[in-house]
Amino acid sequence: MNLPPGQWRLDVMIMALYQMALFFSAQLVFVIFLEYMPKTHCNTDNHCYKLESKCLKDYDRNQLNICLRSNGTKAQFDECVEDKSYLYFKSAQYDYQQDCTSLTHYSASTNMYLGVLFANLVLGILADKLGRRPIYFASIGIGVISLVLSAAIPSLTAFYIFRFTTGVGVAGAQIVGWSYGSEMISAKRRFQLRTFSNWANARILVVFVAFITREWHTATYLCAGISALIFPILWKLPESPVFLEQKHKIEEANEAREQIADLCGLEYEEKEAAAINNLKKITFMDMWRNQRLRTNFLVLCFMWFYVGMATYITDLNGADMSKNLYVGQFLSGLLLTISKIIFGFAEPRFEWLGRRTVFLFSQGVAIVAYILILIALFTDSKESTWYLIVYLCAYSFQALSTETCYLSVAELIPTDVRVTVAAITNICLRLGTILASLTKPLKFSFEPGLFLINLVVCCIGITVVYFYLEESRNANLQNVGQEHVLSSGEENSQAMLEGDEDSKVTIRDGESMTEGSAETGKTGMSGVSEVEGEETKSKVE
């Protein structure tokens, strides 16, 4: 697939925009730092103890000071106190102690996931009706402002309210941002949009922000400032021409393509209006009535649910994969980035490296890693180096499987309902992450249970994908579903023809009822009619 010489300019802008969107979405990971609590703590009397939960006061006051040792010197005692009271990151949990109140079963992570879930219910429909770009702007604006206010107002109530509304921006970045980016970037670089601009890069940057600030207020402000870089990039770009053409807004689509040509330094060639007018308008029910598209939709919903659940169970419970909080978080992001970049370079060079192959391979590696994690936990090998390596592989390859989830939504779902379906699948993802956040008590009661859950759902998931997921590599997004779905008007016309065996259709002056028309009675790309038992085809150029 050859690309115009200046196309890279647009592709680079889209990749930069999407990377910033992913960075904002990484607030879903930042909750690890918001809820972080040390394993040990020392009070003002230098009484050091091991925390039994995330509450500073949750310890046995009759228990001996863990820094008191027989024959120990004062210098050794002071060194122990310094070590046991060291705080890698001062979190919102450390300040507010919300898990020690009535909110113990409604964590900051659950609160934000519900915010994203709520926003998904609205943003998908709005983006398919009003356009990708305006909804993208609005959702990120709400998210960035909410992010600032969540730290600026010193109140637990305000913290929960504005972290909830931050979820609006996260949902916009994930579903609208991805749909907009996948429609704007060239098909050859669509996989690179998820590999070079990737979640792991965003995660590493978030961890770096936490590392240099060491405090959640400052880290939040810095995250909001970096996320605001989305606005100047998005301001420079037009609405998605794919969306505008699907809505038959020919003049606006031509203006958008002309603006893109200017950005790329290319000569603009206006697209023929007939080609645009012949695109079918496909509703959600049109998609649902088609067996092939319905199967794709249901498989995608299941994939997003279980992959989200497994990924977040692994992620949210991985703060102690290494003794140093930042080492594990940096390494997990680094390994994921390396694996994605490798796949990003390899994908254009190997035709066999399709969406299914990437998913089945990455999920298979993750399943093996979960088995090894269980062995480590049952044999008390959690502190070993090989446990850290295996845990990093489990997270990285489980997260890598999400690339197929995102790409398949863009490449298997028609344009008219793409963001709506992306919103529905993202709701499935949020339900999975909410369930993942509710499994956190197992961390302290029966930790192997977390990875037994992952092992079971991932074995079911890889089986479903192997048998039912279609390959969609290099799909033309504008043509998805056009050959498989009859619009409502065409369906009625077809029913009338089938109901009257004696009916005849007169084809005059090269015109006929068309499959490509969005409304009954319009002419379009092609039509098939039966005339006295003979099949007649006509095409209107």
Of 91-105, 368-382, 406-420, where does the model show the most confidence?
Answer: 368-382
Copy the structure tokens of residue 70.
Answer: 């027989």
Q: What is the model's pLDDT at position 294? A: 92
Residue 436, domain member (yes or no): yes
Average pLDDT for 129-140: 92
Answer with the one of 475, 507, 522 that is the final residue of a domain.
475
Which of 517, 58, 70 is closest to 280 using CA atoms? 517
Which of 261, 275, 223, 191 is closest to 539 using CA atoms? 275
Q: Domain range spanning residue 75?
A: 40-86
Judged against a pLDDT cut of 80, whether residue 447 lies above it is answered with: yes
Which of 247, 266, 317, 345 is closest to 9 using CA atoms? 266
Measured CA to CA in angstroms, residue 374 lies from 378, 382, 458 at distances of 6, 10, 15
Measured CA to CA in angstroms, residue 261 lies from 10, 249, 258, 265 at distances of 9, 18, 5, 6
Q: What is the pLDDT of residues 319-377, one digit of tens each?
A: 677 777 677 778 877 887 888 788 777 777 777 888 899 899 999 999 999 999 999 88
Residue 532, domain member (yes or no): no
Answer with the one of 71, 86, 101 that is the final residue of a domain.
86
Residue 178, domain member (yes or no): no
Residue 198, domain member (yes or no): no
Answer with the one of 459, 475, 491 that is the final residue of a domain.
475
We report the CATH number of the domain holding residue 417 as 1.20.1250.20
SS3 48: strand
Q: What is the pLDDT of residues 110-129, one digit of tens each?
A: 888 888 888 887 888 898 88
Copy the structure tokens of residue 420.
Answer: 């709506």
Q: What is the pLDDT of residues 227-286, one digit of tens each?
A: 999 999 999 999 998 888 888 888 888 888 888 888 888 777 776 655 555 667 888 888
Domain count, the chain: 2
Residue 179, domain member (yes or no): no
Residue 257, domain member (yes or no): no
Residue 266, domain member (yes or no): no
**CB-CB contact of 362 with 461 (8 Å):** no
Does the predicted TM-score (pTM) go above 0.75? no
Copy the structure tokens of residue 299.
Answer: 């498989």
Copy the structure tokens of residue 480.
Answer: 């998805």
SS3 42: strand
Q: What is the pLDDT of residues 454-498, one digit of tens each?
A: 999 999 999 999 999 988 887 777 677 677 665 444 554 444 444
Residue 424, domain member (yes or no): yes
